Amino acid sequence: MQAKFAVLCCALAAAWLQPAAAQQGKRSHPADPAVVVPAPAYASAFAGYRPLGDEKPGPWRELNDEVARIGGHIGILRGTAPGPKPDKAGGHAGHHPGEQK
């Protein structure tokens, strides 16, 4: 039984290694200037960029007074800042344009 298993393992290994051995060819030297290499592919980091939008800022004095009323930046972090209330699903969902709820 063990002999059959060993023969089977050797046959599978030979079948598995044969394509790997066939792929090895002559390798060129990395510093050889005559070697043809594919051109590097360029993908811009801004390819999928969408601008935020054309939101106009409000009057700065009124906005500063509002921030002072809620307690400055700490008030904003505490969640006392006025603004859109999250939907019943809650959390972060629905805050991005084009996102489905």
pLDDT at position 93, please? Answer: 55
pTM of this prediction exceeds 0.75 = no
Average pLDDT, consecutive stretches of 10 residues, N- to C-terminus, the chain (101 residues) = 79 71 71 88 91 82 88 75 55 56 48
pLDDT at position 99, please? Answer: 54
What is d(CA 39, CA 34) in angstroms, rounded to the nearest whole number? 14
**Lookup result for tokens 């043809």:** 36
